[in-house]
Structure formats: structure tokens, C-alpha cells
């Protein structure tokens, strides 16, 4: 504000000086001092000329700054116009917007780089009146589907008609489905397509993500193998390390000239320990064989109630010992086409898991219920334990993963494999600190 007033005072004084000089020149002319008057008028002319160019440059700088801001053109440098101190706030605004613009450009480059390095096909469409334009197409999409980075939706339709027809058929709304697309004029490949639509600052965007089913499967398989190898290597090292250490100790003892009674006791203890660790390793391998060599189910018709009651009878002594109340809420009967022995093993594994969970609780209860939906039978086993911790929810079906010292870690994995061999699935959920395992079986 002070600087602005300073400039205004400067212009006011100039105008006063010009008016004062004009008055003196007129006075000299009236007194007959022609040459002095002409010299005075010449000086006034120069001052007016200088004031004109000063104001012209000032307005020009103002217009250029405003135009640059409106057009998002931040290539100019207004630092050389420091003499226009009344524009300091405008220049500061320009520099602030320039800095933010550079930051946004940097972020856009980083985001585009990330999107271009993702092995998922990504297209982002932007609506322009009644048509759609290609706002972004990442490199993976362009290379994998052999599509040039076109700017309009109508051009994309010429290259990928099968994809575009599905999107148009759903009127550019949210979609999640699998579809087959011919890639590079070769065999068709199956992809999972997910789309979403959002409005940002009055702009309508439509996002399309395409993942190859093969890529998804390979990622899942790789993750599963990594987790499995971690568990196997951990179990092997837990057994091999002490066996090797004890073997080294035995080798040192037998190389002595004489063996004392104390050394003999150490040898007996070492051999016993090695035997226990070998037994544990053998059990571990047998457990792996159970998972890897699961026989095909020998299916037969069996009543749902009979299957449940048979499993309850087997587990009855443990329920009684642990003082657990078992509530059977299944109010209907239904014939299932299953392998009775394998599916009994599934229920026994799940009920055993419930018993372990209820050890530290006061209200010990297991609730078994069932329902039929869309030609599927759902059997729910719920316990009143503390639920599964969030940290291990994603690991409970992994082979050999267990939170029990005496557990082998294959019960849930084996149960899941058995149910899947029957064409169903095994899932779990946590509700109000209660754990529920759900067995889904298809009706045949």
C-alpha cells in the first residue's frame, strides 16, 4: 500500500510540475520572452512524452502479466520490472502461480511415469459435450493391444471394437467383468475389466483398467510359492540346524580316546534329540504329502443332518472336556452329494479350530447354521472367541501357518482344498468379535 501511494505521489508531482511549467511558459510568452517561453514549452513536451511512454509501459506490463496468468504461460520473467513497485503484489501472484504450475507439471510427470510402468492396461476418458476424448492411455495398454495413442473415442473403436462395444452397451457406467480380446491379431486372451466414473471440477472422467487373467494368476501363484517356501525353509532349518549341531558334538565325543559316563549321557541325550527332530521333520513331510496328494472325492448322497451329527459325535468328548456348548440351528434337511469321510474331516478341522479359539474365553459356544441360496448350500460354523486378528487374516489358509505350538498348520489348508475339490469354497469372516467359517457347496 505504501509503495502504491509512493508511485501515485510521484505521478501527481509530475503533473503539478508540468502544469506549473506550462503556467510559467505562458507567463513568459505574455511578457515577450519568446525564446524562454519556447524553451519552457519544449521541456514540458519532453516531460509529457516521457510520462506517456512510462504509462504506456506500465499498462503494457500489467496487461502482459494478466494475460500470462490467464493463459497459464509462465515462461516470462518480470523481475526486470522492479521499478513498477505498485505491481509488486501482481508479480508475487504471478511467481506463486508459476511455482505451483511447475510443481503440478512435476507431479503429472511422476504420475504418468508410474502409470506407464504398471503392467495393467489403463485408459482415462474425458467427456467433451456429447463425445469422449482419450485423456490418458498408458504405455502398457498401447503396446499390449497394439493401439496408437489416439485422442478420440471413435478412433479407439476402430482398433478395439469388442472392448468399446461393452463399455458403450453399459452407457459408460461402472463395470466389473471378464472379456476376451484378440491381441495383435493372434489368439484371444481373457482379461478382467474394471471401470469407474467420477466428476472432478465439473469434468466427467471414465477410467478403464484391464488386467490379463494370466498375469493375475501368475502373480497369485508367485505369492503363494514365496509364502510356501518361507514356511518350508523355516521348518527345515528348525530341524536341520540342531541336528547338525548335535552331530558335530557327537563327532567330537567319539574321537576321544576314552568316553566318560558324562560323555555317554551327552551322547544318549543328543541321539534322543536328533530322533525327535527327525520325527518332527518326517511328520512335516507327511503333512505336505497330504496336501499335495489329496485323493479325488468319492461322492455319494448323504443327508446334511447325518453329516453334521456324525462330526458332532466324533468331537463330543472334546466338547465335554472343554465345557463347550454346541448349538445346532439347522432347521431343515437336505441331501448333499459329497465324500462323507473327506467332508467330515473338514468339519472336524473347523470345530477343532473353534475349540482352540475358545480356550481363553468364559462364554464357550459354537453355533452351526445353514441356508440355501441360488442352488447353493451354505454351512456356517461360528464361535464366540475373540476373532481372528487382522494381521493374520490373510495367512490362515496358507500351508503350515499356525499360531499353536502343537499345531501342524495344515488343517485349514486341507479343509479348503477338500471343499474346492467338491466344487465349492471355504471362507471366513469376523463379525462382532466372532469368527464364522462358511462352507459353500453347489447342489448337483
Q: Cα–Cα distance between 211 and 76 in angstroms, integer?
A: 45
Report whether CATH 3.30.450.20 matches the domain 117-213: yes
User: What does the pLDDT read at residue 444?
Assistant: 62
User: What does the pLDDT read at residue 183?
Assistant: 59
Largest interatomic CA distance in the chain: 144
Low-confidence ranges of the chain (pLDDT < 50): 1-6
Q: Cα–Cα distance between 347 and 340 in angstroms, integer?
A: 11
- Burial class, 201, CB count within 10 angstroms (exposed 0-12 / middle 13-18 / buried 19+): exposed
User: What does the pLDDT read at residue 284?
Assistant: 64
User: What does the pLDDT read at residue 400?
Assistant: 60
DSSP 326-341: EEE---S--EEEE-HH
Q: Cα–Cα distance between 67 and 55 in angstroms, integer?
A: 18
CA terminus-to-terminus distance, the chain: 86
Q: What does the domain layout of the chain look like in residue ranges?
A: 2-96, 117-213, 217-292, 300-442
Rounded to two decimals, what is the model's pTM? 0.44
- CB-based contacts of 274, cutoff 8 Å, min separation 6: 242, 243, 246, 247
User: What does the pLDDT read at residue 18?
Assistant: 79
- Are 318 and 280 spatial neighbours (Cβ–Cβ below 8 Å)? no
User: CATH topology of 117-213 equal to that of 300-442?
Assistant: no
Q: Which residue has the cell 501482481?
A: 90
Q: Specify the CATH architecture of the domain 300-442.
A: 2-Layer Sandwich (3.30)
Amino acid at each position: 500500500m505504501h509503495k502504491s501511494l509512493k508511485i501515485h505521489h510521484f505521478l501527481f508531482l509530475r503533473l503539478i510540475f508540468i502544469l506549473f511549467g506550462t503556467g510559467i511558459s505562458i507567463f513568459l510568452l505574455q511578457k515577450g520572452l519568446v525564446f524562454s517561453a519556447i524553451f519552457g514549452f519544449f521541456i514540458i513536451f519532453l516531460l509529457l512524452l516521457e510520462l506517456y511512454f512510462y504509462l504506456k509501459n506500465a499498462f503494457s506490463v500489467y496487461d502482459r502479466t494478466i494475460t500470462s496468468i490467464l493463459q497459464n504461460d509462465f515462461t516470462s520473467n518480470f523481475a526486470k520490472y522492479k521499478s513498477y513497485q505498485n505491481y509488486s503484489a501482481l508479480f508475487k501472484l504471478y511467481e506463486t502461480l508459476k511455482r505451483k504450475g511447475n510443481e503440478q507439471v512435476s507431479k503429472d510427470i511422476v504420475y504418468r511415469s508410474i502409470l506407464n510402468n504398471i503392467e495393467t492396461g489403463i485408459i482415462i476418458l474425458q467427456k467433451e459435450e456429447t463425445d469422449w476424448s482419450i485423456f490418458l492411455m498408458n504405455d502398457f495398454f498401447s503396446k499390449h493391444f497394439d493401439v496408437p495413442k489416439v485422442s478420440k473415442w471413435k478412433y479407439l473403436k476402430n482398433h478395439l471394437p469388442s472392448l468399446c462395444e461393452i463399455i458403450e452397451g453399459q452407457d459408460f457406467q461402472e463395470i466389473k467383468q471378464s472379456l476376451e480380446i484378440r491381441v495383435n491379431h493372434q489368439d484371444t486372451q481373457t482379461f478382467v475389466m474394471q471401470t469407474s466414473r467420477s466428476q472432478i471440477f465439473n469434468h466427467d472422467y471414465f477410467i478403464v483398467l484391464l488386467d490379463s487373467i494370466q498375469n493375475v494368476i501368475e502373480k497369485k501363484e508367485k505369492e503363494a510359492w514365496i509364502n510356501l517356501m518361507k514356511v518350508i525353509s523355516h521348518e527345515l532349518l528348525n530341524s536341520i540346524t540342531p541336528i547338525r549341531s548335535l552331530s558335530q558334538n557327537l563327532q567330537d565325543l567319539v574321537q576321544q580316546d576314552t568316553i566318560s559316563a558324562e560323555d555317554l549321557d551327552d551322547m544318549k541325550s543328543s541321539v534322543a534329540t536328533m530322533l525327535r527332530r527327525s520325527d518332527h521333520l518326517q511328520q512335516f513331510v507327511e503333512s505336505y504329502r497330504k496336501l499335495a496328494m489329496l485323493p479325488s472325492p468319492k461322492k455319494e448322497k448323504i443327508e446334511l443332518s447325518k453329516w453334521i451329527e456324525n462330526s458332532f459325535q466324533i468331537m463330543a468328548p472334546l466338547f465335554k472336556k472343554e465345557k463347550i456348548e454346541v448349538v445346532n440351528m439347522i432347521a431343515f434337511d437336505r441331501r448333499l452329494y459329497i465324500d462323507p469321510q473327506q467332508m467330515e474331516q473338514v468339519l472336524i478341522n473347523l470345530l477343532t479350530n473353534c475349540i482352540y479359539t475358545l480356550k481363553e474365553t468364559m462364554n464357550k459356544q459354537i453355533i452351526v447354521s445353514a441356508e440355501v441360496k441360488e442352488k447353493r448350500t451354505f454351512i456356517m460354523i461360528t464361535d464366540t472367541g475373540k476373532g481372528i486378528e487382522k494381521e493374520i487374516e490373510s495367512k490362515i489358509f496358507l500351508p503350515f501357518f499356525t499360531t499353536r505350538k502343537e499345531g501342524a498348520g495344515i488343517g485349514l489348508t486341507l479343509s479348503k482344498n477338500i471343499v474346492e475339490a467338491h466344487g465349492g469354497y471355504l471362507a471366513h469372516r469376523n463379525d462382532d468379535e466372532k469368527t464364522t467359517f462358511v462352507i459353500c457347496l453347489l447342489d448337483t
